[in-house]
């Protein structure tokens, strides 16, 4: 296998891991002000992701670093063209991180409500904008022959990309709700299950609209594998919703994870061998060939990845195992 193909696959894996893990973080943050009826319940909700949220964000940092090293032209074009959107994501994530740390520094209800809403916006904004970004990658953005983005921020906004953002937002919210059914107890878990049912219906509708619009706005279905994966994601999501409805939330969460995995795989599969599609001229699209680093750089990166990625995976698996139990009000007393 060529190293450029290998790093395209690794980049797909990194973004899949990020959306899968950070997706339920976003969902929990979005639901925080609505599911928590009082300060104690909101503390319980925050504690379900407290030990893992910062580790989940490392997947995004690693994906960005891998893109910079393996496909520097894509990194340069993406970060210049999507600058404002990525800046908004960064500011939202910084605000959310600060909110997690500062919320408990004062017992004043107004203080805590302010940080709770900052956690909400710090989760909602990235969830929406990542969907817009992914939809733009496959739809195409104005890139010229010099691999430069020549559009504006508003060129990234279209009915298709906004539906993509809404679909990501709702799926992540559903994903977070199902996660909370497994990490909280009794009344809180049941409340989260009902939230999953409500958001699940909306997410299913948004996903169906997104898939339908993908036919007319992209060439994703030119790849049979990508098309099967995308429709498979819809089917698996419906199965997840059904599992949650009959109170088999563990299975529902597994299928929710599979939905995100299949969706990410479908979009990257539809992109291959491209990484960014040019809406001005298909020949100007950034591919794994015209935007990659030198073979020597890719070789060194491959050796480092093979040595370090398994260590990271084992460590993160250990963290999830240690904090696998449900969080209850009793835990706040210690």
pLDDT one-digit tens code per residue, 249-274: 999 999 999 999 999 999 999 999 99
pLDDT in tens, 70-112: 999 999 999 888 888 889 999 999 999 999 989 888 888 889 8
Q: Report pTM.
A: 0.93
- The pLDDT score that the predictor gives to residue 56 is 87
Most confident of 167-171, 279-283, 316-320: 167-171
**pLDDT at position 331, please?**
67
In percent, the amount of the chain with pLDDT more than 90 equals: 69
Residues sharing a CB contact under 8 Å with residue 314, sequence separation 6 or more, in sequence order = none
pLDDT at 58: 86
Contact of 249 with 178, CB cutoff 8 Å: yes
The answer to whether the CB of 139 falls within 8 A of the CB of 277 is yes
- The mean pLDDT value of the chain amounts to 91
Domains recognised in the chain with CATH numbers: 3-324 (1.20.1630.10)
Residue 322, both tokens = 């240690």
Instruction: Compute the distance between CA of residue 18 and CA of residue 179 in angstroms, rounded to an integer.
Output: 16
255, 236 in Cβ contact below 8 A?
yes
Range 212-235 average pLDDT: 93
User: pLDDT for 216-225, tens place per residue?
Assistant: 899 999 999 9
d(CA 12, CA 268): 7
Average pLDDT (184-194) is 91
pLDDT at 227 over 60: yes
Please check the confidence at residue 334 and state whether its pLDDT lies above 60. Answer: no
Give the closest residue to 204 by CA, choosing from 120, 263, 161. Answer: 263
Closest CA to 39 of 125, 121, 96, 106: 106
**155-169 burial code (b ≥16 CB/10 A, e <16):** ebebebbebbbbbbb
Please give the residue that has the higher pLDDT: either 54 or 172: 172
Which residues on neighbouring strands pair with residue 276, listed in sequence order?
Answer: 286
Give the model's confidence band at 36: pLDDT under 50 very low, under 70 low, under 90 confident, else very high: confident
* pLDDT of residue 20 exceeding 70: yes
Per-residue pLDDT tens over the stretch 47-63: 999 888 888 888 888 88
Give the N- to C-terminal CA distance of the chain in Å, as an integer.
53
Q: Is the peptide bond before 16 cis (omega within 30 degrees of 0)?
A: no
pLDDT one-digit tens code per residue, 131-143 = 999 999 999 999 9
Number of other residues whose CB lies within 10 A of the CB of residue 242: 14
pLDDT at 333: 59
**pLDDT number for residue 286:** 93
Unique residue bearing structure tokens 């504690």: 47
């Amino acid at each position: 296998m060529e190293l450029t193909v290998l790093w395209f696959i690794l980049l797909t894996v990194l973004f899949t891991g990020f959306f899968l893990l950070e997706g339920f973080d976003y969902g929990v943050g979005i639901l925080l002000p609505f599911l928590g009826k009082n300060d104690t319940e909101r503390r319980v909700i925050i504690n379900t992701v407290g030990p893992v949220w910062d580790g989940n964000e490392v997947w995004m940092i690693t994906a960005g670093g891998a893109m910079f090293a393996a496909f520097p032209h894509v990194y340069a074009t993406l970060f210049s063209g999507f600058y404002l959107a990525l800046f908004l994501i960064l500011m939202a994530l910084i605000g959310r991180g600060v909110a997690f740390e500062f919320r408990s520094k004062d017992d004043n209800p107004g203080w805590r409500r302010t940080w709770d809403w900052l956690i909400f916006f710090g989760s909602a904004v990235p969830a929406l904008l990542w969907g817009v970004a992914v939809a733009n990658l496959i739809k195409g953005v104005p890139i010229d022959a010099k691999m430069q983005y020549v559009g504006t921020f508003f060129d990234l906004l279209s009915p298709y990309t906004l539906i993509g953002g809404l679909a990501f937002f709702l799926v992540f919210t559903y994903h977070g709700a199902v996660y909370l059914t497994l990490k909280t107890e009794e009344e809180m878990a049941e409340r989260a299950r009902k939230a999953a049912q409500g958001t699940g219906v909306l997410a299913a509708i948004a996903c169906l609209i997104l898939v339908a619009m993908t036919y007319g706005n992209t060439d994703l279905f030119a790849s049979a594998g990508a098309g099967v994966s995308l429709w498979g994601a819809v089917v698996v999501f419906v199965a997840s919703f059904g599992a949650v409805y009959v109170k088999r939330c563990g299975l529902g969460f597994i299928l929710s994870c599979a939905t995100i995995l299949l969706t990410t795989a479908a979009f990257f599969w539809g992109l291959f061998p491209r990484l960014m599609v040019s809406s001005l001229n298909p020949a100007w699209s950034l591919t794994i060939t015209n935007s990659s680093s030198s073979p020597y750089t890719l070789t060194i990166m491959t050796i480092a990845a093979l040595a370090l990625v398994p260590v990271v995976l084992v460590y993160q698996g250990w963290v999830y195992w240690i904090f696998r139990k449900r969080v209850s009000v009793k835990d706040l007393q210690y």
